[in-house]
């Protein structure tokens, strides 16, 4: 590989050109397509620099530019909707901007360390900023001589409600998680067969993967407005779940989130959500009404598998409308500028 700035040969595994000191594409642990996404996003900015300040248009172009990179695209769209571009467009101190961006990605988007490093590596490369992630995939035996100068990792104070905490209430029908906890750990309440209802704290920001999986008697749950991230499979196989209130600010409905929630009938998706992952609602055979906002720009091909009674409420000519027509899913549309049922607190 050669540096696009000075055409010098780049040693394999290096993230810095040894001749001109510019950052070159590199892969992040857990994201093998980082280099490709970096290149695509830099090209996007070069070709569409005038559209950066128009958030909706810029997100639309991003979606079009990355059709083959679903997880990466969803993370970037999350970050853009949360205001990441403004951090870089309005700041003047690069180190401070990167630190602020990292905090935003964790606090507001609920991203993990790995996801945060991926987004930072792409966006800084996109804006031609000198930043080398601590999670770079390196070739054995090589090191980058700029390692010492990279920014310190951004950390966020967190208090995780772990499975050991939950086990104290294994036979309880109603559980209250005390204020102060910021995350429900992965598999925390897995298989709690007596659990019917959970009271979650206002301090909560994230629900880990498969946190409530196989809670067969869980009937309802209100997710606090502070929650920005619900990991995959969080309510998988909650076969009695009927009532779910999702918070404004939630970014996506991940893989298997409501898989086989066979009693779920109606759900209003917050306007902040940008996509539905694989099998997100698969097997929800009682689901009759799903209200989906304009901002949803990605739906996995199997998101609504085995949902025979589903009717999707969406805007006319939106991505969701076109998806439903293509997949032969029943839908009801409204004109752009009107209010979908559920967003005005009035159900049809």
**270, 292 contact by CB (below 8 A):** no
Q: Give CA–CA dist 326/255, Å, rounded.
A: 21
Q: What is the pLDDT of residue 330?
A: 97
pLDDT greater than 70 at residue 155: no
Residue 31 placed within a domain: yes
Please compute the mean of the pLDDT values over residues 124-136 and round it to a whole number. Answer: 82
Q: How many domains does the chain have?
A: 1
pLDDT greater than 60 at residue 148: no
Q: What is the pLDDT of residue 43?
A: 83
Segment 174-221, tens digit of pLDDT: 999 999 999 999 999 999 999 999 999 999 999 999 999 999 999 999
Q: Give CA–CA dist 99/4, Å, rounded.
A: 27
Higher pLDDT, 79 or 265: 265
Residue 24 placed within a domain: yes
Helical H segments across 160-241, by residue range: 163-167
Residue 103 placed within a domain: yes
Token pair recorded at residue 105:
């990605």
**Nearest by Cα to 32 from 102, 146, 118:** 118
Which residues constitute the domain of residue 52?
1-132
* 18: number of Cβ within 10 Å: 15
Q: Where are the beta strands (DSSP E) in the chain?
A: 160-161, 174-176, 183-184, 197-199, 206-207, 220-222, 229-230, 243-245, 252-253, 266-268, 275-276, 289-291, 298-299, 311-315, 330-334
**Nearest by Cα to 98 from 33, 154, 24:** 154
Q: What is the pLDDT of residue 156?
A: 37
Residue 22 placed within a domain: yes
Helix (H) or strand (E) holding 6: none
Q: What is the pLDDT of residue 14?
A: 66
Q: What is the pLDDT of residue 75?
A: 87
Q: What is the pLDDT of residue 52?
A: 73
Q: What is the pLDDT of residue 140?
A: 47
Higher pLDDT, 15 or 309: 309
Residue 193 placed within a domain: no
Residue 18 placed within a domain: yes
Token pair recorded at residue 5:
């700035």
Helical H segments across 194-329, by residue range: 319-327
**Nearest by Cα to 237 from 284, 289, 288:** 284
Confidence of residue 230 (pLDDT cuts 50, 70, 90): very high
Work out whether the CA dihedral 7, 9, 11, 12 comes out positive or negative. positive
Segment 317-341, tens digit of pLDDT: 999 999 999 999 999 999 988 999 9
Confidence of residue 151 (pLDDT cuts 50, 70, 90): very low
Helical H segments across 66-93, by residue range: 70-81, 84-90
Q: What angle do CA 174, 180, 185 make, to 5 degrees?
A: 65
Lowest-confidence pick of 200-209, 298-307, 337-346: 337-346
Residue 49 placed within a domain: yes
Lowest-confidence pick of 101-115, 135-149, 306-320, 324-338: 135-149
Q: Can you say how many angstroms the Cα of residue 50 is from the centroid of all Cα atoms in its chain?
A: 26
pLDDT greater than 60 at residue 150: no
Residue 60 placed within a domain: yes
Determine what percent of the chain is predicted with pLDDT higher than 70.
Answer: 84
Q: Give CA–CA dist 290/293, Å, rounded.
A: 10
Q: What is the pLDDT of residue 167?
A: 94
Helix (H) or strand (E) holding 263: none
Q: What is the pLDDT of residue 261?
A: 97
Q: What is the pLDDT of residue 89?
A: 81
């Amino acid at each position: 590989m050669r540096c696009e700035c000075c055409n010098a040969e780049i040693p394999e595994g290096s993230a810095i050109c040894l001749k001109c000191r510019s950052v070159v594409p590199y892969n992040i642990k857990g994201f093998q397509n980082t280099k490709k996404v970096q290149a695509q996003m830099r090209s996007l900015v070069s070709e569409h620099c005038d559209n950066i300040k128009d958030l909706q248009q810029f997100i639309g172009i991003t979606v079009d530019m990355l059709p083959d990179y679903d997880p990466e695209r969803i993370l970037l769209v999350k970050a853009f909707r949360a205001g990441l571009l403004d951090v870089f467009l309005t700041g003047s101190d690069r180190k401070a901007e990167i630190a602020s961006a990292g905090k935003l990605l964790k606090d507001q988007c609920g991203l993990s360390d790995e996801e945060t490093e991926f987004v930072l590596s792409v966006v800084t490369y996109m804006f031609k900023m000198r930043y080398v992630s601590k999670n770079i995939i390196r070739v054995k035996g090589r090191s980058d001589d700029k390692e010492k100068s990279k920014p310190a990792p951004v950390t966020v104070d967190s208090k995780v409600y772990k499975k050991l905490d939950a086990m104290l209430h294994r036979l309880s029908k109603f559980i209250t998680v005390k204020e102060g906890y910021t995350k429900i750990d992965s598999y925390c309440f897995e298989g709690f067969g007596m659990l019917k209802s959970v009271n979650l704290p206002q301090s909560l920001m994230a629900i880990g993967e498969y946190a409530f999986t196989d809670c067969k008697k869980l009937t309802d749950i209100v997710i606090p407005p502070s929650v920005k991230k619900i990991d995959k499979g969080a309510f998988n196989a909650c076969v009695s779940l009927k009532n779910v209130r999702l918070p404004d600010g939630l970014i996506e409905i991940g893989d298997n989130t409501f898989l086989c929630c066979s009693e779920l009938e109606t759900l209003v998706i917050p306007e902040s959500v940008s996509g539905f992952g694989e099998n997100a609602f698969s097997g929800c055979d009682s689901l009759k009404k799903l209200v989906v906002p304009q901002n949803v720009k990605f739906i996995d091909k199997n998101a609504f598998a085995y949902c025979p009674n589903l009717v999707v409420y969406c805007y006319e000519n939106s991505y969701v409308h076109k998806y439903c027509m293509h997949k032969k899913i029943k839908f009801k549309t409204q004109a752009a500028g009107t209010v979908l049922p559920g967003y005005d607190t009035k159900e049809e």
